[in-house]
Amino acid sequence: MYTISFIVPSWHYWVNPLKHQPYWELYYATNLRKSYSANEVTVNLEDFRGTAKQSKDLLDAVKKVPERNLYLYWIFKSGDAMEVYSIAKILKEMYPNSKHVAGGTHVDMCTSECLEHFDAVVVGPGEISFRKVVDSLRSGGSLEKAYQQKYLEVPFKDTPYPQRDFLPIEKIVNKELFSQYGGPTGTLVYFSRGCIYHCAFCVYNNPNLLQVRGPEMMRAELAYLKENYKIEAVLLKDEVAIHPNSKISMMTFQALGEAGMLWRGQTTSRASYDQLKMAKESGCLELAVGVETVDDKVMEIIDKRWQSEKQIRDFMDNCKKVGIKIKICFIFGLPGESQDIAEKTIRFLEGTQPEFVSLSGFCPIPGSPMFKDPKRYGIKFIDKNWDKHAHLLYRFSNEEEVGLPFEYEKVTPWGPSFSREQISDNIRQVQRWLEARGMIY
């Protein structure tokens, strides 16, 4: 019997890491489970969500992981990378014959660094690559250093949806995901992966195309969640939940509507009135939209010129007309911000009145255009300690240990910059304003 464990790190940057589910680990674990018979290969998940990072508890939990032939890791966010490296090191010391293979966006972006920490890496999607790894090891062959594949070669349309029985029910469903709506039983799904845009701060456009689930697979996953987990509401974690092509977005709405699911998700301000109306009819409660900044100059610098102020305001008006609540996502600390960015943002919020706001601190994510060419954006220094890479700051208190892992030149191509402390002050000021109005969750 060949044994495999997928490792899920602590997700230390979330206040409640159990609110979200390790979708990609479940997805690839399912893919492997379905590729072999139960007598040939077993797959399980070792889930460290909720264990404090670099703590004795985490170390104790890692030391209790049973021996396996192969440990797999999907590093979606760079903020997890250091912890995953250290878990792999401990397991390797405990079980010298084991093999360790990692994939995920961080691995795609920092391949050479990851090669120093794992026996092999998967670059691109993992459906076929992880199978090649397992086949090679089971047949006594040696590992290649990197298993590379293009996302275009592996459609997401009909691949099996993740089976959730790898984890206990309380780690799959909860009422917190929809607590602002009375707490229906919820979980998360992805009905697409990737994004077609090129915002200069982002790597979640990996792949840089939208791979959408087929309608039958959406229906099958929703039916499975309802039948086995009594799911009443789903969070669509897709980068763009409302596909720009209205025929495709309609398929998603139909699947959700037929299943009688409540849902929320994130999308772009390009969604039309008709799409928003259909979204509402299909059960949509809330849409998050990446406005990012109220400063036109910043919008241009971050390469999001396709999003005009008029477009944002039309999107918000249309959401209000159809009865969908709005969560605006802002980033503070982007290059070119005016000195009064905090006041300008508050004025915008007073004028447009969204229900919720998610305010992040800028994080130069490895692999993003801003990380690759910091000089162009006036960035003097980027901290390569990935543990400090987080974006949700000061939401529930004025204290944070991590975040803003960079510094600007005093004078940038756009004039005087903010110091790290000034950016923190701006974020704290607006977070407390939002908190006082119940606009954060």
Residue 201: CB minimum distance to ligand SF4, A? 7
Give 83 or 286: the residue with its C-beta nearer to ligand SF4.
Answer: 286
Give 32 or 210: the residue with its C-beta nearer to ligand SF4.
Answer: 210
Instruction: Please give the Cα distance from 223 to 258 (Å, whole number).
Output: 10
Q: What is the largest CA-CA distance in the chain?
A: 65
- Determine the 3-state secondary structure of 422 from DSSP: helix
Binder of ligand SF4 out of 187, 268, 318, 417 (CB under 6 A): 268
Task: Write down the residue that tokens 């099996």 correspond to.
Answer: 160
Binder of ligand SF4 out of 197, 356, 386, 394 (CB under 6 A): 197
On whether the CB atoms of residues 233 and 178 are closer than 8 A, the answer is yes
Give 5 or 307: the residue with its C-beta nearer to ligand SF4.
Answer: 307
Kind and range of the H or E run holding 436: helix 420-436
Q: What is the DSSP string of 24-75?
A: HHHHHHHHHHHHS-TTTEEEEEEE-TTSPTTSHHHHHHHHTPPP-SEEEEE-
Q: How many CB atoms lie within 10 A of CB 168?
A: 9
Give 232 or 292: the residue with its C-beta nearer to ligand SF4.
Answer: 292
Residue 241: CB minimum distance to ligand SF4, A? 11
Residue 207: CB minimum distance to ligand SF4, A? 11
Give 172 or 199: the residue with its C-beta nearer to ligand SF4.
Answer: 199
Residue 398: CB minimum distance to ligand SF4, A? 27
Give 103 or 290: the residue with its C-beta nearer to ligand SF4.
Answer: 290
Q: How many CB atoms lie within 10 A of CB 300?
A: 12
Instruction: Please give the Cα distance from 427 to 360 (Å, whole number).
Output: 8
Residue 200: CB minimum distance to ligand SF4, A? 9
User: In this chain, which stretch among 73-81, 111-119, 198-206, 357-365 interacts with ligand SF4, using CB under 6 A?
Assistant: 198-206
Residue 318: CB minimum distance to ligand SF4, A? 18
Q: Using CB under 6 A, which residues numbered 286 to 315 contact ligand SF4?
A: 290
Residue 203: CB minimum distance to ligand SF4, A? 8
Q: Using CB under 6 A, which residues numbered 202 to 261 contact ligand SF4?
A: 202, 204-205, 239
Q: Using CB under 6 A, which residues numbered 375 to 434 contact ligand SF4?
A: none
282 binds ligand SF4 (CB under 6 A): no
Residue 322 burial (10 A CB sphere; 0-12, 13-18, 19+) = middle
Instruction: Please give the Cα distance from 151 to 155 (Å, whole number).
Output: 7
Binder of ligand SF4 out of 199, 235, 390, 393 (CB under 6 A): 199
User: In this chain, which stretch among 7-15, 144-152, 197-205, 320-328 interacts with ligand SF4, using CB under 6 A?
Assistant: 197-205
* CA dihedral (299, 302, 305, 306) positive or negative: negative
Give 160 or 244: the residue with its C-beta nearer to ligand SF4.
Answer: 244
User: In this chain, which stretch among 24-32, 48-56, 194-202, 348-356 interacts with ligand SF4, using CB under 6 A?
Assistant: 194-202
Residue 266: CB minimum distance to ligand SF4, A? 8
Residue type, 434: L
Residue 48: CB minimum distance to ligand SF4, A? 27
Strand partners, 73: 7, 102
Residue 275: CB minimum distance to ligand SF4, A? 16
Instruction: Please give the Cα distance from 298 to 21 (Å, whole number).
Output: 33
Give 88 or 199: the residue with its C-beta nearer to ligand SF4.
Answer: 199
Q: How many CB atoms lie within 10 A of CB 67?
A: 12
Q: What is the DSSP string of 277-329?
A: HHHHHTTEEEEEEEEE-S-HHHHHHTT-TTS-HHHHHHHHHHHHHHT-EEEEE
Give 205 or 426: the residue with its C-beta nearer to ligand SF4.
Answer: 205
Residue 316: CB minimum distance to ligand SF4, A? 17
Q: How far is CA 319 from CA 48, 235, 287, 350, in A?
A: 38, 18, 8, 17
Residues binding ligand SF4: number (CB under 6 A): 10
Binder of ligand SF4 out of 29, 195, 328, 370 (CB under 6 A): 195
Give 239 or 337: the residue with its C-beta nearer to ligand SF4.
Answer: 239
Instruction: Please give the Cα distance from 345 to 113 (Å, whole number).
Output: 38
Crossing angle of the two packed helices 215-229 and 246-259, in degrees rounded to 10: 20
Binding site for ligand SF4 (CB under 6 A): 195, 197-199, 202, 204-205, 239, 268, 290
